[in-house]
Amino acid sequence: MDRGIGFLTLKDAWCVPLLIGTALIEWLRDHGARGPREGVLFRGMSGSEYSRKYHTALELYRRLDLPCFNPLLGFSKEEILEVIQTRYGLPLNPIYQHMDRTYCICCYTSDVRRQAYSAKHFPDVCGRYYGQIEEMLFGSGLIQKSRLDPEHRTRQEKIDRHGFVHWRRLRAQDVLGAVRRRLLGGGLAYRVRDPGWIAVKHLRPVDGRWVRRGDEIRFWHLEERIADTLIKRMINCLDCGFCVVECFACRRFDRKTKRLVIEGCMQCGRCLRLKFCMGWQHRFWRRIIVEEP
């Protein structure tokens, strides 16, 4: 959230693909795989949890293009706990003394009771997380621009009850990122509002067909759709590393700097779309392109 990614919603949840996907894809490549489908994911999800809309196959497997097995789908939570305790004699996570499942602080199932547990055991993290949510919705005034009924605009609804997971993107969340104009020779020029958003690593798939002039990027002999994709990805990039799915061979996520690194781009063109771009899909204040009047 510090880097602009939005909070969780019931549609296209980013948490599992980002937190599991980036690390998993990186691990597969480091062990010699040439693509995601050369690996297999075994996921310990019970049948009762899989049935929830939030944990369908589309959540993770579609994004990763990764074969997956769920060996515990035929078991209920009670049966799994019985095997753990009775057959293997393993101790349970202490959190089960207070709640019926472990969870991340941003999980949409959290209620007032779970928030109280988080506030007691992790007060700094809890205060920071909910403070960011409150600033995004209430401090920005965005909640007043939503079409929600008055009873769904309250702090209790959106914070205490985690109602923010039902949020749908509003036009008010779009901010000017770049201005596009057409050059006389048929090229395209994009003036980026903040030069700090320019990272030429995103332009390597079309090397030889672009040039930078100050805060402006110019393209020639390139489709508008592709040029728009490159600029949108660049100005919304979170450096999350998830686009290693598209560029399996040439991209890696540097764990030390928390930045995406691109090495040896072969200009195959697979990444010239926004399907797996976490920044474009989930940045809370999405930076968009407008046409010069």
- Do residues 121 and 41 both lie within one domain? yes
How would you write the pLDDT of the chain (293 residues) with one tens digit per residue? 777 888 877 666 777 777 777 788 888 888 988 888 888 888 777 776 655 555 555 456 667 777 888 888 888 888 888 898 999 999 988 877 777 777 777 765 566 777 888 888 889 988 888 888 899 999 999 999 998 899 889 988 888 887 888 888 899 999 999 999 999 989 999 999 999 999 999 999 999 999 999 999 999 999 999 999 999 999 999 888 888 778 888 878 887 888 888 888 889 888 898 988 889 988 999 999 999 98
137 with 276, same domain: the answer is no
Alpha-helical (H) ranges within 71-205 are 77-82, 112-121, 123-134, 155
Residues paired with residue 189 on neighbouring β-strands, in sequence order: 181, 218
Same domain, yes or no: 92 and 222: no
Looking at the 3D structure of the chain, how many domains does it have? 2
179 and 289 Cβ atoms separated by less than 8 Å: yes
Q: Domain boundary at 153, 168, 183, which? A: 168
Residue 132 resides in a domain = yes
Residues contacting 292, CB < 8 A, separation 6+: 179, 180, 181
Helices (H) and strands (E) in the chain, counts: 10, 9
Considering 122, 149, 168, which residue would you say is the last residue of a domain? 168
In this prediction, residue 49 carries a pLDDT of: 67
User: Of 89, 123, 88, nearest to 105 (Cα)?
Assistant: 123
Say yes or no: 82 and 179 in one domain. no
Confidence at residue 58, expressed as pLDDT on a 0 to 100 scale: 45
Determine, yes or no, domain membership for 134: yes
Last residue of one domain, picked from the residues 125, 141, 168:
168
User: Domain range holding 114?
Assistant: 15-168
